[in-house]
Chains A and B, each alone.
Chain A
Amino acid sequence: QKEVEQDPGPLSVPEGAIVSLNCTYSNSAFQYFMWYRQYSRKGPELLMYTYSSGNKEDGRFTAQVDKSSKYISLFIRDSQPSDSATYLCAMLNYGGSQGNLIFGKGTKLSVKP
């Protein structure tokens, strides 16, 4: 079993839809959870960062962590064509493991006008 599982999609939604992106993981030691956004032919950029369980909101984006289920989500409200990208989840133990993030393989999202 991979440490981090992420549905690769592709996911296609109409503009204005609510998008839900998810990852599951197996290592209960993970404490830090991140979402990166990667536009086509660009490097990943950090979008959201959450420590332990709970929700974090930033504009149209909400990151949610459920440690009991080992499940994390990223919700995008009022999705826009500019949100079309690949979204990668990433996780880390407390203490860092020398900063080596464990990445999911990414979900490709397309928002149609």
Chain B
Amino acid sequence: NAGVTQTPKFRVLKTGQSMTLLCAQDMNHEYMYWYRQDPGMGLRLIHYSVGEGTTAKGEVPDGYNVSRLKKQNFLLGLESAAPSQTSVYFCASSYPRASGSYEQYFGPGTRLTVT
């Protein structure tokens, strides 16, 4: 049981290049999330998905697109990378518990530098 995995772990891009970050979970969770984490800013939600084929915008969606074609995978795309997108990106997954709570499980992160 690998939990939440992210690919790649590190990446350096030049301004204007594109890339896709892959998140995979093997816990059969319905909900998946993409965050970015920057010093002094905490975790900020980029996009999330409440099920296969559905996505929604979070707090900071501009410059990113996502897709959830399979329940276990959530992809984050940068179409034209900018230096402001230099960050650590975390994927998380969760499911609704009977208590009404959701507990998110995080991946190890992807460190992206845009030069």
Contacts and interface: CB of A to CB of B under 8 A. Distances in A.
Q: Is A bound to B?
A: yes
Interface in A49-91: 49, 51, 88, 90
B109 A99 contact: no
B58 A95 contact: no
- The binding surface of chain A is classed by DSSP as mixed
Interface residues of B, number: 27
B31 interface: yes
B100 A96 contact: yes
B56 interface: yes
A46 B105 contact: yes
Given A88-B43, A106-B42, A98 B50 contact: yes
Given A34-B103, A99-B94, A100-B58, A105 B41 contact: yes
A43 interface: yes
Contacts of B106: 36, 43-45
B42 A104 contact: yes
B71 to A, nearest CB: 15
B1 interface: no
Interface string B92-104: 1010100111111
A8 B40 CA distance: 8
Given A104-B42, A105-B41, A99 B100 contact: no
A103 interface: yes
Nearest to B109: A43
Interface in A89-113: 90, 92, 94-96, 98-101, 103-106
Interface string B13-40: 0000000000000000001010000001
17 contacts: A32-B99, A32-B101, A34-B103, A42-B109, A43-B4, A43-B107, A43-B108, A45-B106, A49-B101, A51-B101, A90-B104, A92-B102, A96-B96, A96-B102, A99-B102, A100-B48, A101-B104
Interface of A: 8, 31-32, 34, 36, 41-46, 49, 51, 88, 90, 92, 94-96, 98-101, 103-106
